[in-house]
Amino acid sequence: MPAVAPAPPRRRDESAGPLLRVEGLCVRFGSQEVLRNISIDLDAGQTLVVLGESGCGKTVLLKSMIGLIRPSAGDVLFEEKSLASLNDRALAHLRTRYGFVFQGAALFDSMTILDNVAFPLREHTRLSEAEIRGIVGSLVDEVGLPRSVLAKKPVQLSGGMRKRAGLARALALDPQLVLYDEPTTGLDPIMTDVINELILKVRRRPAVTSVVVTHDMNTARKVADRVIMLYPLFRLKQGEPQVVFDGTTDELDRSRDPRIRQFVEGRAGGRLMELREEQAREAAEDAAAAAGDEAEDDA
């Protein structure tokens, strides 16, 4: 399939530094801190898996990597260029070198699959309609969909087929960096493995780098060159790093850190007791607030 991105990927000298660099990234929403002092160097051609329980900031990190969320502190650099320094037009242009596979596929419900996959090509290239249709056909072949789906709308497809259509759209501009947000959530074990195989297939494209956010250990073990694990900030002591692991899946399996073992083995451990204590604290705070309101009313 011919390269069609308006900012086509360049072959990089490995000595030039990482493709993507996250430097001291902090993200807050109001008073709520979600990411604190995250630093990651991602080399070209590497597949990085980001693990962690729900609410630890995985998706926020992923969106920060492409400038959809601006950092409260720190920076994200793509080929040594700061995303924070780019205006909206330059950032939109840079994003044509990214492919983003959303958790729910995020297809346009009112469009056919043909129009969904063709959307970035029509928006960002001057290819003829015949050329676009040829590329779309090749993409649905690549992700293992029959061409009969092109005339259908997303509601007519299964969850796994929608995920694959979303991947086809993400690949339309021959991206240099592909980011996956929980690509196997809601899928059965067989379709999960189909998606994992497609991730492996995509990374064999020339110069493709991948970031996969997931909580699925089977996905991590199958596709990762490198794994990092985030931990929720509210469960960390002051000064503890939020990245509690950075290494290979073999090293992850050998880790004796109880936080990592609990996640890898899927054990609730003392978490149920912690949840009960948290509920009790919230109930006590609500009762105290209600009592305070009543006292003010009486006064």
Mind listing the domains of the chain with CATH numbers? 17-267 (3.40.50.300)
Q: How confident is the model at residue 14 (pLDDT cuts 50, 70, 90)?
A: very low
pLDDT at 269 over 50: yes
pLDDT tens per residue across span 44-83: 989 999 999 888 999 999 999 988 899 999 999 998 999 9
pLDDT at 4 over 70: no
Provide the 3-class DSSP secondary structure of residue 221: helix
The residue-averaged pLDDT of 151-177 equals 91
Q: How confident is the model at residue 12 (pLDDT cuts 50, 70, 90)?
A: very low
Phi, psi (5° rounding) for residue 10?
-105, 145
Identify the pLDDT of residue 185.
Answer: 85
pLDDT at 3 over 50: no
Q: How confident is the model at residue 184 (pLDDT cuts 50, 70, 90)?
A: confident
pLDDT at 281 over 90: no
Integer Cα distance of 116 and 105 in angstroms: 11
Which residues, including other chains, have CB under 8 Å from residue 74's CB and lie 6 or more apart? 22, 23, 24, 25, 26, 37, 38, 39
pLDDT at 87 over 50: yes
Percent of the chain at pLDDT above 90? 52
Integer Cα distance of 81 and 67 in angstroms: 12
Mean pLDDT of the chain: 86
Identify the pLDDT of residue 239.
Answer: 82
Identify the pLDDT of residue 1.
Answer: 40
Percent of the chain at pLDDT above 70? 86
Identify the pLDDT of residue 278.
Answer: 61
Provide the 3-class DSSP secondary structure of residue 175: coil
- Block residue for tokens 């983003």: 100
Question: Is 165:149 a contact under the CB 8 Å cutoff?
Answer: yes
pLDDT at 188 over 50: yes
